[in-house]
Amino acid sequence: MGRVSTAPALLAISHGTSSPAGQAAVAALVDAVARRLPDVVVRLGHVDVQQPDVAASLDAIPAGTPVVIVPLLLSAGYHVRIDLIEQTAGRDGVTIAPALGPDQRLVDALLTRLEPLTPQPEDTIVLAVAGSSDDRANEDCREIGRMLGARLGRDVTVGFLAAAEPRVDAAVATASAATASRVLVADYLLAPGYFHDLAVRLAAGAPVAPPILGDDEPPASVVDLVVDRYRQVAG
């Protein structure tokens, strides 16, 4: 007779994207998490853009199963603090884990993505982040910038793609005017999609590293991070 899991289900909730590459990258991350947790029901849902949404994702999990929602979001902005709470209201047995960042394992992934650009000590690094109407989320991103700077041994400027200043184009222009060396853009986005394409446009020719997830295997450090966020809550 098969063993029945009593562990809470893990419902990974991404932002959602219309980009097929972004959709595939996030799905690959969740598949990797499922392989790491063979005795746990692991599902993927979305807070925006894609289906299934949060409600449909919860409905698809066997009745009576406790659920840990792990936001596949790099900072705790509106979607974590408002959307997920509203969309799980009235659902028993649902707990929301913290957002993925800030965390050193995300810095590990950023450094790996920067490596093909061969950063030199004299290069200036701009960290492109999505930006949020909640400045607590923006501060999470600024903290990642400080953590990345500490690892690289230099200051890192944070440039926002929306909702906050300085914007990426302004940050790149200011950095370019201040140095004769290269300006490199580190892409603090989970997966390909609209914001990555915007980062490339706003970088105005400055080299842009890929997002954290791509068409290769998800970074082991990020898989570990998702599993740890689940275990923080599941016990």
Tens of pLDDT, residue by residue over 5-64, are: 579 999 999 999 999 999 999 999 999 999 999 999 999 999 988 999 999 999 999 888
pLDDT score for 145: 98
Within a domain: residue 165?
A: yes
Range of the domain at 229: 9-100+216-234
Task: Give yes or no for a contact between 79 and 15, defined as CB atoms under 8 angstroms apart.
Answer: yes
Q: Which residues of the chain register pLDDT less than 70?
A: 1-5, 78-79, 81
pLDDT score for 171: 98
pLDDT score for 84: 87
Assess whether 109 and 62 both reside in one domain. Answer: no
pLDDT score for 86: 86
Assess whether 78 and 112 both reside in one domain. Answer: no
Assess whether 135 and 94 both reside in one domain. Answer: no
pTM of the predicted structure, to 2 decimals: 0.93
| Residue whose pair of structure tokens reads 């849902």 in the numeric block | 45
Mean pLDDT of the chain, nearest integer: 93
Within a domain: residue 53?
A: yes
Assess whether 116 and 196 both reside in one domain. Answer: yes
pLDDT score for 5: 56
